[in-house]
């Protein structure tokens, strides 16, 4: 029998609701972005984000279901992101999902947001075979993950300071680009020469699969400042291209190194930064014949369809959350806290 799962995602600044059947057929995947709301602050304001989730979630639930042609009674499970993320934002989704599961007498499935990002790949390629290497690059995370089976993760490396998306956003701000910076920086970089300003590639110790982007960000800031002090004209597109190339080089090299070390033939990309075109083109070039799977950009950035997909596999395992489920802002990948 078909398993339609309704999922709610409110971990940061996008309110999203989706219905996915059997972890693969996306019946609806609506995202209400709060970008306009946070733009004047230059970043997500947690209090403002949770209040907006509260306002839009109920209408979004109704609209999503209406688009699927299904009724509430057709659903088989209610899924929700319960961490990591902003506490107040997560709570809005968790409370709504608990109420829905209770009212509809359906199992509640609690999903880790990062697991959701990884499962965006199963939405587009349900037949993926383990083991897999996944690079999860978002606004809050830069993790290299060995996926050994459904729900079985080994984090091989992670960032020691700024996440890749955070570095993109901070450098974009220094370049006076619009919020949120990542996609704008990518657009500016397309007009620049990445070789004009060879920024450092932070590889850390020999063989390390960890990341560190804060030094690179500082190098960009200093180079701009030095140029201004000397009264030199700065080509912002070259700065953007040089920075992007440095980040992409490090991400790609370490991902391929992880695949080599663990003898893995398939590499996945996940998270908002996976929408970056340069990263999407460089990884397959460097992957040495390995298969590279990259979800379409709309499934890389925060959305509830990826949560519904991850939830489907938990549903098959009978991994349900209790009615006492709470938000876990610092939830780690591979960890259950319910
Ligand atoms: O996964 P996501 O939507 O939210 C989090 O879970 O953090 O990722 C958002 C991050 C932001 O830092 C955003 O600037 C970055 O992904 N991002 C990009 C691009 N699109 C989104 N960074 C570089 N190039 C892009 N095209
Ligand atoms: Zn995310």
How far is it, in rounded angstroms, from Cα 24 to Cα 316? 14
**Does 139 lie in the same domain as 244?**
yes
**Does 286 lie in the same domain as 137?**
yes
Beta-sheet pairing, 4-9 with 77-83:
parallel
Q: Is the CB of 169 under 6 A from ligand 1?
A: yes
**Does 283 lie in the same domain as 137?**
yes
For the residues 152-159, what does the mean pLDDT come to? 97
Which atom number of ligand 1 is nearest to the Cα of residue 163? Answer: 12
Which atom number of ligand 1 is nearest to the Cα of residue 244? Answer: 23
Average pLDDT, the chain: 96
pLDDT tens, position by position, 58-84: 999 999 999 999 999 999 999 999 999
In 3-state terms, what secondary structure has residue 329? coil
**Does 78 lie in the same domain as 42?**
yes
Give 14 Cα–ligand 2 centroid separation in angstroms.
Answer: 9
**Does 230 lie in the same domain as 252?**
yes
CA within 13 Å, CB half, 56: 22
Nearest alpha carbon, ligand 1 atom 3: 301
Classify residue 331 by its DSSP letter: P
**Does 308 lie in the same domain as 225?**
no
**Does 170 lie in the same domain as 47?**
no
Classify residue 211 by its DSSP letter: B
Contacts of 331 (CB under 8 A, 6+ apart): 82, 83, 84, 112, 113, 337
Mutate to test the pocket of ligand 1, among 301, 303, 306, 333 (most ligand atoms within 8 A of CB): 301
**Does 103 lie in the same domain as 154?**
no
pLDDT tens, position by position, 197-225: 889 999 999 999 999 999 999 999 999 99
Q: Is the CB of 115 under 6 A from ligand 1?
A: no
**Residue 336 in domain:** no
Beta strand spans in 150-235 (E): 152-158
For residue 1, the model assigns a pLDDT of 82
CATH number, domain containing residue 38: 3.30.420.40
How far is it, in rounded angstroms, from Cα 283 to Cα 322? 40
Using a pLDDT cut of 70, give the percent of the chain over it: 100
In 3-state terms, what secondary structure has residue 256? helix
**Residue 326 in domain:** no
**Does 308 lie in the same domain as 285?**
no
- Domain residue limits at 45: 4-119+300-317
For residue 263, the model assigns a pLDDT of 98
**Does 241 lie in the same domain as 211?**
yes
Instruction: Kindly tell me if the per-residue pLDDT of 244 is higher than 90.
Output: yes
For residue 310, the model assigns a pLDDT of 98
Classify residue 234 by its DSSP letter: P
Q: How many domains does one find in the chain?
A: 2
Tally Cβ neighbours within 10 Å of residue 74.
14
């Amino acid at each position: 029998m078909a398993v339609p799962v309704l999922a709610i995602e409110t971990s940061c600044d996008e309110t999203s609701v989706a219905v996915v059947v059997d972890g693969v057929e996306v019946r609806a995947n609506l995202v209400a972005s709060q970008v306009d709301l946070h733009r004047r602050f230059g970043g997500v304001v947690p209090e403002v984000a949770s209040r907006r989730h509260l306002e839009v979630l109920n209408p979004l639930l109704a609209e999503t279901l209406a688009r699927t042609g299904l009724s509430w009674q057709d659903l088989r499970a209610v899924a929700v992101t319960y961490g990591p993320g902003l506490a107040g934002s997560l709570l809005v989704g968790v409370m709504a999902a608990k109420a829905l599961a209770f009212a509809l007498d359906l199992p509640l499935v609690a999903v880790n947001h990062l697991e959701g990002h990884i499962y965006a790949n199963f939405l587009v390629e349900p037949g993926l075979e383990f083991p897999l290497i996944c690079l999860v690059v978002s606004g809050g995370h830069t993790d290299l993950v060995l996926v050994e089976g459904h729900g079985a993760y080994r984090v091989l490396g992670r960032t020691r300071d700024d996440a890749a998306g955070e570095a993109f956003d901070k450098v974009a701000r220094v370049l006076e680009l619009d919020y949120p910076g990542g996609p704008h920086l990518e657009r500016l970089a397309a007009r620049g020469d990445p070789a004009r300003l060879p920024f450092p590639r932070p590889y850390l110790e020999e063989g390390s699969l960890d990341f560190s982007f804060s030094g690179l960000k500082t190098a960009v800031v200093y180079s701009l400042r030095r140029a201004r002090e000397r009264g030199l004209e700065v080509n912002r597109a070259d700065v953007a291209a040089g920075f992007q190339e440095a980040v992409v080089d490090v991400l790609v090299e370490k991902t391929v190194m992880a695949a080599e070390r663990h003898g893995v033939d398939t590499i996945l990309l996940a998270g908002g930064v996976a929408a970056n075109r340069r990263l999407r083109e460089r990884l397959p070039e460097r992957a040495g014949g390995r298969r590279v799977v990259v979800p379409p950009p709309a499934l890389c950035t925060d959305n509830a369809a990826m949560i519904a997909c991850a939830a489907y596999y938990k549903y098959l395992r009978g991994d349900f959350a209790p009615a006492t489920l709470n938000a876990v802002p610092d939830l780690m990948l591979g960890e259950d806290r319910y």
